[in-house]
Structure 1
Amino acid sequence: MTAHQKPAEPAVDFVRRHIGPAPRDIDAMLQTVGASSLSALMGETLPASIRQKAPLDLGKPLSETEALAHMRGIASRNQVFTSLIGQGYSGTIMPTVIQRNILENPAWYTAYTPYQPEISQGRLEALFNFQTMICDLTGLDIANASLLDEGTAAAEAMALAERSSSVKTKAFFVDHDVHPQTLAVLRTRAEPLGWSLIVGDPARDLDKADVFGALFQYPGTHGGLTDPRAAIAALKAKGGVAVVAADPLALTLLASPGDLGADIAIGSAQRFGVPMGYGGPHAAYMAVKDALKRAMPGRIVGLSVDSRGQPAYRLALQTREQHIRREKATSNICTAQVLLAVIASMYAVYHGPEGLTHIARTVHRRTAVLAAGLKKLGFAPLSDSYFDTVTVAVNGQRQAIISHAAHEQINLRLDETTVSIALDETTTPAVIEGVWRIFGGTLSYAEIEKEARDALPSALHRSSKFMTHPVFNEHRSETELLRYMRKLSDRDLALDRAMIPLGSCTMKLNATTEMIPVTWPEFGALHPFAPKEQAAGYHAMFATLEKWLADITGYDAVSLQPNSGAQGEYAGLLAIRAYHLSRGDAQRTVCLIPSSAHGTNPASASMAGMDVVVVACDAGGNVDVEDMRKKAAQHADRLAAVMITYPSTHGVFEEHIRDICDIVHTHGGQVYLDGANLNAQVGLARPGEYGADVSHLNLHKTFCIPHGGGGPGMGPIGVRAHLAPFLPGHPAADGGKAPVGAVSAAPYGSASILVISYIYILMMGGEGLTRATEVAILNANYIAKRLDPHFPVLYKNHNGRVAHECIVDPRGLKTTSGVTVDDIAKRLIDYGFHAPTMSFPVPGTLMIEPTESESKAELDRFCDAMIAIRREIADVEAGRFKIEASPLRHAPHTVHDIAEDKWERSYTRAEGCFPAGTSRNDKYWCPVGRVDNVYGDRNLVCSCPPVSDYAQAAE
């Protein structure tokens, strides 16, 4: 190196790659917003009273190469045994074509929730296929587009049964052979609502019980198969609602829940190609009879028509119900498991009905051979009928079995007096021979197989067909499936194409390096109930991640269990409730919630058994402190909590946050701070230090877990020390003795995707995270400054600053031009952008959040598009054409507009299809025109109809 040469910069500086604007761009943007430095801008944006004093110190950041090497070290500490534990989790084989082109493809994992249907047709079709598959397998009329896990689905089904039943008794019957983690989640859900659970044998105990509904496990958690028809019929005769928790693979061979008389079916689609992942993420399902469709929680994909009368998918019925009905919502479900539902649906497309049936028959046949061998060794199965799981008495040999199982590196389900063995599609004859050795015998699979008999009861054999639609029967070659997946992804607009400027949703970069270890078998192949020592790497990562999150937020303890933001809210409120109960304050049930709050807040409070009292907001969008003071005093004896979003949903750091916390604490309440907007605080302010007692942390927002088309998500909670004893427990971890029970089916929620947030923090370090927050705030202020002359920014602080997002207000333009917020959102598609958040929290407005990941060039492209749209509105105002005849109202434009023989509109094709500043070479073509939402709800179609119906829908 010569004297004039500078040392080369590191080949991989992750912080620089994660943050969009280059240093020179940051200087230019600061000049535009009128700030002398990032530090000065932060001083004008955040109240000095909440600024953390010490820099965030999380250790030296690693490069991408170093981070992957570090993760290899963690992975090596996990031991991948063959897990035959079952209990709702199975080994499975994800087809590599699906792994590479769905799970590892940013076109799928960086997409947002399909609230804008015109640019979501690909993932909506995949979810439509999922619903069709579930409806066919369960024999019920309508399915939703996934829930968080089987335990959550069971809790939601119980709540649905309570709402729908004519029985007024507040008791619910649970099959004694239900999965233990499901029972735990049910207990947690029932207790705050005053519902009691009766656990027993449906055949023996249900008839005497006075209940609003019952849950049957099919097959049972220990493998047994019984015919529940008589018990279901008796339950329904008394007005109760029947819920069947069913294994979808078993349903290819067994009579469907619909055939059994069920009103609701729930379960997990995990074994349809999704790794166990030490607990998740996995798509749960729910299907119901037609009469229950309008009360069913979660998202439903329906078939509607677009502006040309052509078929188009959209979310139907109670879309975002929790935002509309708030404390009267039937559920707080906000995140689904879209990416995992897509994988499960593609697994079904890949295999088809014949392939799934073949897998099921193979699994059952090998289970029958296993059972025959065990019987030969003196361990006769306790049930004569089963699908994939057999249970035997240990006969005093428990310790020997444990020792032999460890030697064979096979995990079995060990109870005090029994052992259960669950097989799956990965189970080979060699594994079965290994199980026999565990039980003391050396047998030949081939020899035992000759004598083994199947064990499915004839009365439960499936007779109805399923998955007859062409989509499940036309993609047998990899070529065809590859092209089908590519065709669907091309219909969508995800983060891999363009900025997604949604406010409150933080659509930031999900870096490839963060995603890589998710599919490593050391993380993906672990069963959530495997012995803890086999997951030493996981637990080391959990401990470090919990510490980092505590350091970032100023809290004392963290639970990683909640697997969505809304579930985190629920867990946080349960902690507050349990804290008050432990102090003898059972009367503390009032939860104060500002009128600006995210809709899941009041829904979560209701689920936690709290009474919602709304606090007003002032003209600046801030919480009305005097109204807060008044209502806190009014309800002082009953005050449980306040739920605050900070910075506010209006995109501003409220100056009086410490006052709000003090008011609530003075009257004996606790402060729940919604962590949806934590991306504006990391490294700058710690909620646990300025007055909050508990927060959920959206890892799929601030900490880079991808949105995946609307899920997976994660919502861990951080708490102050006094609430730590009331973090969620889990029977697999504490035997069910924790004061607050499980909120998720697995102890660490969707554990396999925690590696993403872990690596993100590992590569950013404290300084990098702080810089990310500063640039996120800069980017938002830059957009606000550029757009304010054209679309006024609705809320700013006293220095004229916004936080990490801003709300622009086009409402006045409706008077001058007739333009609606929908028109602007759909026209943005023609410019190649996803719309900002529409009409939330203020009807008729647009909430914009750029994140730190977007470059100045992309921010300018977005601002230029918005300004160009304002000019188009000016054309309407000037009388060039009426709004009905404008490109705004006809947006989005499709290839059909280019191909149309006649063009009789008052603007040119070029103006409509290639608006100012867009690139013709890189044009994103929306596959459908504007979707008719009203038609879709009036003519509800939520599973694949016969092909002929598509033509009828277009007439």
Structure 2
Amino acid sequence: MSQPSLRELEQHDAFVGRHIGPNDAEIATMLAAVGHDSLEALTDAIVPALIRSGTNAAAAPLALPESLTEEEALARLRAIASKNQAFRNFIGQGYYGTHTPKVILRNILENPAWYTAYTPYQAEISQGRMEALINFQTMCADLTGMEIANASLLDEATAVAEAMTLARRSARSKSNTFLVAGDTHPQTLEVLRTRAEPLGLAVEVARSTDAFHQKLAAGDYFGVLVQYPASSGWIADWSADAEAVHGHQALFVFATDLLALTLLKPPGEMGADIVVGSSQRFGVPLGFGGPHAAFMACRDAYKRSMPGRLIGVSVDADGNPAYRLTLQTREQHIRREKATSNICTAQVLLAVMASMYAVYHGPEGLARIASRVARLTAILAAGLRRLGHATVHASAFDTLCIEPGDAGPAILARAREARINLRVRGNGSICISLDETTTRADVETLWSVFAADGAALPSVDALDAQAPSLIPDALRRTGPFLQHPVFNTHHSEHELLRYMRALADKDLAMDRTMIPLGSCTMKLNATAEMIPVTWPEFADIHPLAPAEQTEGYRQLIAELEAMLAECTGYDAVSLQPNSGAQGEYAGLLAIRAWHRSRGEGHRDICLIPESAHGTNPASAQMCGMKVVVTKCDASGNVDVEDIRRAAEKHSAHLAAIMMTYPSTHGVFEEDVVEICEIVHAHGGQVYTDGANMNALVGVAKPGKWGSDVSHLNLHKTFCIPHGGGGPGVGPCAVKSHLAPFLPRAGIPGGDQDDRTSRGGMVSAAAYGSASILPISWMYVTLMGATGLRKATQVALLNANYVSKRLAPHYATLYTGRNGLVAHECILDLRPLEKATGISAEDVAKRLIDFGFHAPTLSFPVPGTLMVEPTESESLHELDRFIDAMIQIRQEIAAVEDGRLDREDNPLRHAPHTALQVSGSEWTHAYPRELAAFPLPSLKLQKYWPPVSRVDNVHGDKNVFCACIPVDAYRERTA
């Protein structure tokens, strides 16, 4: 026996084999099952040759280094991170230092039970995270003084933009102007302008108080926005202004700060209609700008129009309270081109963190933190006055504004020397924002920065006894908040730890089971990829920090952009979009801007196949485009001739086509190059939705076969975890001619980088959810060029293996060339429902009894299940899922032949709770063992759903979206 070489021995540490579920022997077994002898042969049989090879070089090998080990990759990334400098930040402008309680850091942010969960569309297995989101909604509604709040939005600036469009469709005013009080965060104004222009809305900014009141009195607006507290710190009672706004049949929008609202009069008591803001300072790190959970609270009258997700309370089959997504939860899929928002991703993981921060501290603890910040701010202001620096405003919560005059340069130089960041506004004034992390020593250091040479510094203790509060009595909060028991019970670490564990135990996430959701790509989120997210070199950087302090981030971002450009074949990438829907929006805005730059701004027709993701038509509508739907043929392919007819008909006005590749039907379109040629011949651009990029990386490049722009879902293909429904990252990749129209990289009020761009900002931070970009950088670095290609090939293999093994039991609705599917397969249950009454939803619920999250239900075709196993699932796990599906098919057969009752059977009553099967009474015609343990393996490891089937109709008819009443809470926890 020959001795192995050193190179062979070194392979024990290779990451590729840890990410890809099946080993080489299992891959060979599966290849035999699908009738191919190698991954290369299977790839050739599935992927059209025209995009794999030829003059367009669509499938040229990836020009990326080969894989590194986990230790090598972490060491390299640590070296990059060390180039960041974490100064003490007093910049504010919507981003503040905060202490993440370590029990939340370890047991939420770093816990795969929370970060690998999927969006809670399947209520019965999502009760834990939905309870956490109900807590978030209650927290936001309570603090703002509003009637209802949603389960989070992407960031504060986009939340304001969503509030603007909600106001436009809800207000009776016929104006198209949105009036903004000028002392609003600059990034908010930028995102507002980006969102308003394609919709034909005007954003009018009143730069002074007098100008604001003049415009307010004139009444030409449908909505009005104020920042409370203002960006430069002052606070005011807006009650009288609210009356004026309502008198003109318009809506009043507040952008606010949740920590400040523990002390300040809530907007709801001032006449607010919509209130938005960020929950970032409730324990979520700065992270160079994101991800952070924004919120929207509003009057009850607007709940059916409110964008984003909304968690409601319904009942299960036994009458017990149960949570579910309610009302407009997937507006973009239901209303498509008539949708008013394309929001698909929320910021669930961050909303959960913020809600747990409030649970942990409770109302008294939050008020104490806020009071300490406010007290330090008053003391700082008093000391600055003694040093000869009067504050511009008499009122404040946490932010002071100083006009330094000629002393400004010297002050800023001393600040840099003391490793302190201050905010310099466009008018030369300096803002200082304090936060939870500010100490007495910080205040003394700030005094030293502002003091003239030789000046004696004030005393914190002395001024504490003398400095007046900067919050006027009339603006102090008088009513209670967060009175529900959940916010007044878990203040010790033991109690919070057990509460979070109890919630996690109710849910199914990737740490327990395969989640075979088609189009959602639930794959391994490796621990080594996650570790750098919480490094202080990444977590503690303010998005407006000067460029010299963020060299590490800029290197990471530049390298990741280059990696993504190489994987896609495009020339430029923007990482600003902080969700897939935002990436779609950015790509269409780039197309729109390019047409306008050529004098063809009249081009506004967007062709979208009927199989497209629901966000596609919604995004087009938001860009001011008109959607023309094109047909699919009987095989699930887009109808090329129908596209040709539509392109010819609308040739003079054709702006773009949006198509998903491989298609949403799970097949590779044979004619994708021809489609690109047709659209280009009629002056349009090709947008390829990158949601299914997991079937392409290393195999084919859309930028090389004729596509002009794609968004990518880093929370799908590139391993950023779904986090229970967010965070997401949706970078936009384009060919060179569209590059100038990508979202602007610099944040107003911050340090501009050297890029030139004519695109507008689509998210609040220049690089969106920057703090989770290390995950995707690590994934590409760990996999290398060869590993990425193999991952794609195994994703194709796994999908075809599932389809092949289930073929005797369930028909795969669509197949491509050689009878094969792409990375996902659609199982057609419609014939079974017609024969037995058992629906795809019944099968989805029955899978819970087997410990599985269901495949994607009834999308893109009603009555079907779309399965995407990904490359990360082992042969064992695939077979476990297949065995469950075969057992379910046998139960359906028992309904067909009468062995199981058509109504009283385990499918119609699934899922079954432990309480049901262990109760003293059992009224069903089928045995308890069949209900609970349909396969013997379940006796060894069993997931018990906390509730039985949830009543969706009851939830929509009886909308209740806050913590369940105290009496019910006590009954449940007794």
Range of TM-score over shorter length: over 0.9
The reply to whether residue 638 of structure 1 matches residue 638 of structure 2 is no
In structure 2, give the amino acid aligned to 1:426: T
Equivalent-residue separation in structure 2 for 1:365 and 1:734 (angstroms): 34
Could you tell which deviates more after superposition, 54-63 or 128-137?
Answer: 54-63
**Once the 2 structures are TM-superposed, how far is the Cα of residue 661 of structure 1 from its aligned partner?**
0.5
**Once the 2 structures are TM-superposed, how far is the Cα of residue 847 of structure 1 from its aligned partner?**
0.3
Q: Check the 8 A contact 2:219/2:248 in 1, yes or no.
A: no
Partner of 2:18: 17
Q: Check the 8 A contact 1:57/1:765 in 2, yes or no.
A: no
Partner of 1:48: 49
Matches within 5 A, 1:675-690: 675-690=690-705
Partner of 2:851: 832
**Counterpart among 371, 383, 389 of residue 381 in structure 2:** 371
**Counterpart among 444, 457, 463 of residue 478 in structure 2:** 463
Change (3 A) 1:4 1:609: closer
**Once the 2 structures are TM-superposed, how far is the Cα of residue 682 of structure 1 from its aligned partner?**
0.2
Partner of 1:119: 125
Q: Check the 8 A contact 2:66/2:786 in 1, yes or no.
A: no
Partner of 1:352: 362
**Once the 2 structures are TM-superposed, how far is the Cα of residue 457 of structure 1 from its aligned partner?**
1.2
The reply to whether residue 862 of structure 1 matches residue 894 of structure 2 is no
Change (3 A) 1:4 1:540: closer
Change (3 A) 1:737 1:444: farther
The reply to whether residue 429 of structure 1 matches residue 440 of structure 2 is yes
Equivalent-residue separation in structure 2 for 1:317 and 1:3 (angstroms): 65
The reply to whether residue 873 of structure 1 matches residue 892 of structure 2 is yes
Partner of 2:963: 944
The reply to whether residue 296 of structure 1 matches residue 302 of structure 2 is no
Partner of 1:229: 239
Equivalent-residue separation in structure 1 for 2:163 and 2:677 (angstroms): 39
Q: Check the 8 A contact 2:630/2:642 in 1, yes or no.
A: yes
Q: Check the 8 A contact 1:57/1:767 in 2, yes or no.
A: no
Q: Check the 8 A contact 1:865/1:917 in 2, yes or no.
A: no
Equivalent-residue separation in structure 1 for 2:2 and 2:203 (angstroms): 78
**Once the 2 structures are TM-superposed, how far is the Cα of residue 949 of structure 1 from its aligned partner?**
5.0
Could you tell which deviates more after superposition, 496-505 or 43-52?
Answer: 43-52
The reply to whether residue 143 of structure 1 matches residue 149 of structure 2 is yes
Change (3 A) 1:363 1:870: same
Equivalent-residue separation in structure 1 for 2:500 and 2:600 (angstroms): 55
**SS state at 1:923 partner:** coil
**Counterpart among 153, 156, 164 of residue 159 in structure 2:** 153
Partner of 2:34: 33
Partner of 1:258: 268
In structure 2, give the amino acid aligned to 1:691: G
**SS state at 1:302 partner:** strand
Equivalent-residue separation in structure 2 for 1:2 and 1:812 (angstroms): 58
**Counterpart among 618, 643, 652 of residue 628 in structure 1:** 643
Equivalent-residue separation in structure 2 for 1:664 and 1:883 (angstroms): 51
**Once the 2 structures are TM-superposed, how far is the Cα of residue 793 of structure 1 from its aligned partner?**
0.3
**SS state at 1:127 partner:** helix
Deviation string, structure 1 residues 606-651 (Cα, Å, up to 9, x no partner)? 0000000000111011110000000000000000000000000000
**SS state at 1:380 partner:** coil
The reply to whether residue 65 of structure 1 matches residue 71 of structure 2 is yes
Change (3 A) 1:464 1:614: same
**Once the 2 structures are TM-superposed, how far is the Cα of residue 948 of structure 1 from its aligned partner?**
2.4
Matches within 5 A, 1:64-463: 64-200=70-206, 201=209, 202-415=212-425, 416-440=427-451, 441=455, 442-463=457-478
Equivalent-residue separation in structure 2 for 1:799 and 1:211 (angstroms): 59
Partner of 2:687: 672
**Once the 2 structures are TM-superposed, how far is the Cα of residue 881 of structure 1 from its aligned partner?**
2.4
Change (3 A) 1:570 1:4: closer
The reply to whether residue 557 of structure 1 matches residue 568 of structure 2 is no
**Once the 2 structures are TM-superposed, how far is the Cα of residue 444 of structure 1 from its aligned partner?**
2.8
Q: Check the 8 A contact 1:276/1:524 in 2, yes or no.
A: yes
Equivalent-residue separation in structure 1 for 2:559 and 2:93 (angstroms): 29
Could you tell which deviates more after superposition, 208-217 or 749-758?
Answer: 208-217
Equivalent-residue separation in structure 2 for 1:907 and 1:9 (angstroms): 55
Deviation string, structure 1 residues 279-338 (Cα, Å, up to 9, x no partner)? 000000000101001000000000000010000000000111110100111200000000
Aligned positions, number: 954
In structure 1, give the amino acid aligned to 2:41: A
TM-score between both structures, scaled by the size of structure 2 = 0.97
Partner of 1:791: 810
Partner of 1:574: 589
Equivalent-residue separation in structure 2 for 1:904 and 1:190 (angstroms): 58
**SS state at 2:587 partner:** helix
Q: Check the 8 A contact 2:395/2:470 in 1, yes or no.
A: yes
**SS state at 1:688 partner:** helix
**Counterpart among 743, 751, 759 of residue 728 in structure 1:** 743
Q: Check the 8 A contact 2:518/2:825 in 1, yes or no.
A: yes
RMSD across aligned positions (CA): 1.5
Partner of 2:767: 748
Q: Check the 8 A contact 2:714/2:720 in 1, yes or no.
A: yes
Equivalent-residue separation in structure 1 for 2:857 and 2:653 (angstroms): 36
**Once the 2 structures are TM-superposed, how far is the Cα of residue 443 of structure 1 from its aligned partner?**
3.1
**Once the 2 structures are TM-superposed, how far is the Cα of residue 882 of structure 1 from its aligned partner?**
2.3
**Once the 2 structures are TM-superposed, how far is the Cα of residue 5 of structure 1 from its aligned partner?**
8.2
Q: Check the 8 A contact 1:212/1:240 in 2, yes or no.
A: yes
Partner of 1:694: 709
Deviation string, structure 1 residues 102-157 (Cα, Å, up to 9, x no partner)? 00000000000000000000000000000000010011111000000000100000
**SS state at 1:887 partner:** coil
Equivalent-residue separation in structure 1 for 2:712 and 2:577 (angstroms): 10
**SS state at 1:331 partner:** coil
In structure 1, give the amino acid aligned to 2:280: Q
Deviation string, structure 1 residues 54-75 (Cα, Å, up to 9, x no partner)? 2112113210011111121111
Deviation string, structure 1 residues 9-54 (Cα, Å, up to 9, x no partner)? 4342110000000000000000000012110100110000001342
Q: Check the 8 A contact 2:544/2:751 in 1, yes or no.
A: no
**Counterpart among 902, 910, 914 of residue 933 in structure 2:** 914
**Once the 2 structures are TM-superposed, how far is the Cα of residue 952 of structure 1 from its aligned partner?**
10
Equivalent-residue separation in structure 2 for 1:207 and 1:389 (angstroms): 29
Matches within 5 A, 1:452-491: 452-491=467-506
**Counterpart among 715, 721, 741 of residue 730 in structure 2:** 715
**Counterpart among 541, 548, 566 of residue 563 in structure 2:** 548
In structure 2, give the amino acid aligned to 1:590: I
**Once the 2 structures are TM-superposed, how far is the Cα of residue 4 of structure 1 from its aligned partner?**
7.4
Equivalent-residue separation in structure 1 for 2:480 and 2:760 (angstroms): 40
Deviation string, structure 1 residues 813-832 (Cα, Å, up to 9, x no partner)? 11211100111000000011
The reply to whether residue 903 of structure 1 matches residue 922 of structure 2 is yes
The reply to whether residue 613 of structure 1 matches residue 624 of structure 2 is no
Partner of 2:552: 537
Q: Check the 8 A contact 1:309/1:953 in 2, yes or no.
A: no
In structure 2, give the amino acid aligned to 1:159: T
**Once the 2 structures are TM-superposed, how far is the Cα of residue 197 of structure 1 from its aligned partner?**
1.0
**Counterpart among 763, 780, 784 of residue 799 in structure 2:** 780
Could you tell which deviates more after superposition, 437-446 or 697-706?
Answer: 437-446
In structure 1, give the amino acid aligned to 2:432: I
TM-score between both structures, scaled by the size of structure 1 = 0.98
Q: Check the 8 A contact 1:173/1:209 in 2, yes or no.
A: no
**Once the 2 structures are TM-superposed, how far is the Cα of residue 467 of structure 1 from its aligned partner?**
0.2
**SS state at 2:907 partner:** helix
**Once the 2 structures are TM-superposed, how far is the Cα of residue 903 of structure 1 from its aligned partner?**
1.6
**SS state at 1:397 partner:** helix
- Give ranges in structure 2 of 5+ residues lacking alignment: 53-57
Equivalent-residue separation in structure 2 for 1:204 and 1:224 (angstroms): 20
Equivalent-residue separation in structure 1 for 2:190 and 2:232 (angstroms): 17
In structure 1, give the amino acid aligned to 2:259: L
The reply to whether residue 848 of structure 1 matches residue 859 of structure 2 is no
Equivalent-residue separation in structure 2 for 1:900 and 1:884 (angstroms): 21
Deviation string, structure 1 residues 700-755 (Cα, Å, up to 9, x no partner)? 00000000000000000100000000000143465998422100000000000001
In structure 1, give the amino acid aligned to 2:87: F
